[in-house]
């Protein structure tokens, strides 16, 4: 219903053929969702095309490559909806839809001391939280930079041994060294219980050997024992789950936890009865309970590219080919800060070849020669001469620039950011529709891209307006700081 005639019908097949008949209530919900999948407004498209005609040809080509029109967003919505259903049912899917075993409960009366570990990148943190009546009244934290040898080419003993030593140092002299512990492990995990997590695959450039396929809690416990740390993991989770729980302690309408930073992922509350694979494995489970699902949606449509083949361009293909996880995380590579700078660099390199801009002293030809924070600086509010961009180019690259060059660079950076925001909004909007709470929900978001990229939340709201059209919705995007750290401690409190 309401689909463009040129959309590929097989995109609907995951919803029809899941190996069993979908319950009537799901079919009714899908009919409601189809109301959101409207054809592209040709008038809007003509306006976009007219605006593009005023640009030089090289810029027009880049703009076309980076533009994400509404009909492509709708295609992504349909594809993701089908993958979610398959993932929840336990079928092969590009989104894992992993049960976190963290369930929605009352947060009233939580009082005591809780510890948290946060491993989501090359910086590792240890935190101690003091709660009184479910409010965090005191926090102590320490950050440790993981040596590169443990991240790339190292082994499990080295990585988890470093973590255990850091924890031992942090709790030395503490009177409550055996309090409940939450462990944020921000990588794809398969979970069979609340306090076990088997690493499915590394992301974020980690290649540490001997961890994939192993229980990370058991690996940590082994190193804790060696270091004399009398502590066990109460709950292991990823950063999206932690972000959702953090906001849930403040707002019971919190529905999604999202990370938009170095990586991109979503977690959300789902009825246990809507998770067939969990119900089959846990016969006594309450179908009316609510559990947090870790989607691992950064891997959506990877490596199949049934939908993303219509979104990816030559820059995305080059970025993917140069990444350590080629063919995987293809949606994440459209959104996250780890890749936005590279996409902009490759587009700017084409502008140089076309004679639109001069070079940046060879940096456009070097991998990571145009980092994401430079891109972010180029889209900040600026004066009519774009003095901030002029300062970045002179200070960081040692080049003088004309106003025309600065305008061209700004345009490219804006388009990269805009596409990232529209992809993120499409994924989030689809999950909200699936959960059935588009009329009133809070989306908790952590991550440097959402927090520090100018106008990023505004661009996401504009994308929601496009997606929902005249359908009523009330989605609140809330910056939830330190969900990965504090969220681990709060998850331990929630589940202990």
Nearest residue to 110 via CA among 170, 180, 164, 58:
180
Q: Give the span between the Cα atoms of 483 and 245, in whole angstroms.
A: 8
Pull the structure tokens for residue 54: 């005023």
**Residue 184 three-state SS:** strand
Torsion sign over Cα 373, 375, 381, 383: positive
**Are the CB atoms for 237 and 488 separated by under 8 Å?**
yes
**Is the CB of residue 136 less than 8 Å from the CB of residue 486?**
yes
Asked about 106 being catalytic, the answer comes back as: no
Only one residue has tokens 């080419």, namely 153
For the chain, first and last CA: distance in Å? 47
C-alpha pair distances (Å), 63 with each of 60, 114, 208, 409, 418: 5, 49, 39, 12, 11
Q: Does the annotation mark 63 as catalytic? A: no
Choose the catalytic residue: 201, 358, 410, 476: 201
The residues with which 116 forms a beta bridge, in sequence order, are 127, 182
Q: What is the Cα 258 distance to its own chain's centre?
A: 6
Q: For 209, list phi and psi in degrees, rounded to 5.
A: -80, 155
Q: Is 428 exposed, middle or buried (0-12, 13-18, 19+ CB in 10 A)?
A: buried
Joined tokens for residue 43: 């008038």
Phi, psi of 303, deg, nearest 5 = -95, 15
Angle formed at CA 183 by CA 180 and CA 184, multiple of 5 degrees: 145
Q: Would you list the DSSP string of 82-127? A: HHHHHHHHTS--SS--EEEEEE----TT--EEEEEEEESSSEEEEE
Active-site choice (186, 336, 420, 484)? 186
- Element counts in the chain: helices (H) and strands (E): 19, 13
Contact call for residues 378 and 367 (beta carbons, < 8 A): no
Separation of alpha carbons 454 and 251, rounded Å: 26
Question: 17 Cβ partners below 8 Å, 6+ apart?
Answer: none
Let me know if 239 is a catalytic residue: yes
Among residues 118, 239, 466, 482, which one is catalytic? 239
Q: What is the dihedral of CA 182, 269, 198, 77, to 10 degrees?
A: -140
Go through 345-383 and write b for each residue having 16 or more CB atoms within 10 A of its CB, e for each that does not.
Answer: bbbbbbbbeeebbeebeebbeeeebbbbebbbbbbeebe
Catalytic residues: 186, 201, 239
């Amino acid at each position: 219903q309401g689909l463009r005639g040129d959309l590929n019908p097989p995109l609907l097949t995951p919803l029809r053929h899941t190996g069993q008949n979908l319950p009537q209530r799901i079919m009714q919900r899908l009919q409601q969702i189809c109301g959101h999948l409207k054809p592209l407004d040709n008038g809007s498209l003509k306006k976009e095309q007219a605006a593009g005609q005023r640009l030089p040809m090289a810029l027009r080509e880049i703009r076309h490559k980076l533009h994400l029109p509404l009909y492509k967003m709708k295609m992504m919505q349909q594809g993701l909806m089908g993958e979610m259903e398959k993932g929840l049912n336990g079928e092969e899917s590009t989104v894992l839809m992993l049960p976190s075993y963290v369930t929605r409960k009352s947060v009233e009366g939580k009082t005591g001391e809780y510890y948290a570990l946060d491993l989501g990148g090359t910086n590792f943190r240890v935190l101690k939280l003091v709660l009184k009546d479910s409010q965090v009244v005191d926090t102590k934290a320490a950050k440790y930079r993981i040596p590169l040898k443990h991240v790339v080419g190292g082994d499990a003993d080295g990585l988890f041994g470093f973590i255990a030593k850091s924890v031992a140092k942090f709790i030395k002299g503490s009177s409550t060294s055996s309090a409940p512990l939450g462990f944020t492990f921000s990588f794809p995990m398969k979970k069979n219980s609340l306090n076990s997590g088997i690493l499915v695959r590394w992301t974020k450039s980690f290649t540490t050997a001997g961890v994939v396929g192993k229980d990370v809690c058991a690996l940590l416990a082994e190193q804790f024992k060696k270091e004399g740390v009398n502590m066990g993991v109460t709950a292991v989770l990823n950063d999206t789950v932690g972000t959702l729980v953090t906001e849930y302690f403040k707002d019971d309408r919190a529905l999604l936890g999202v990370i938009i930073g170095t990586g991109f992922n979503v977690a959300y509350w789902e009825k246990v009865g809507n998770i067939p694979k969990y119900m089959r494995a846990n016969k006594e489970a309450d179908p009316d309970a609510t559990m947090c699902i870790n989607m691992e949606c950064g891997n959506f449509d990877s490596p199949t590219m049934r939908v993303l083949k219509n979104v990816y361009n030559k820059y995305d293909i080059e970025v993917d080919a140069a990444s350590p996880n080629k063919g995987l995380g293809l949606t994440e590579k459209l959104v996250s800060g780890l890749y936005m700078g590279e996409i902009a660099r490759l587009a700017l390199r084409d502008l140089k070849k076309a004679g639109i801009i001069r070079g940046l002293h060879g940096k456009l030809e070097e991998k990571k020669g145009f980092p994401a924070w430079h891109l972010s600086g180029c889209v900040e509010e600026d004066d009519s001469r774009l003095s901030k961009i002029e300062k970045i180019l002179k200070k960081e690259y040692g080049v003088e620039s004309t106003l025309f060059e600065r305008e061209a660079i700004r345009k490219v950076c804006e388009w990269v950011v805009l596409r990232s925001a529209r992809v993120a909004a499409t994924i989030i909007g689809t999950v909200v529709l699936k959960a059935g709470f588009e009329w009133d929900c809070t989306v908790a978001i952590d991550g440097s891209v959402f927090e520090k990229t100018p106008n990023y939340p505004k661009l996401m709201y504009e994308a929601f307006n496009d997606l929902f059209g005249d359908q009523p919705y009330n989605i609140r995007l809330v910056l939830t700081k330190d969900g990965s750290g504090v969220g681990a401690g709060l998850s331990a409190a929630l589940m202990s």
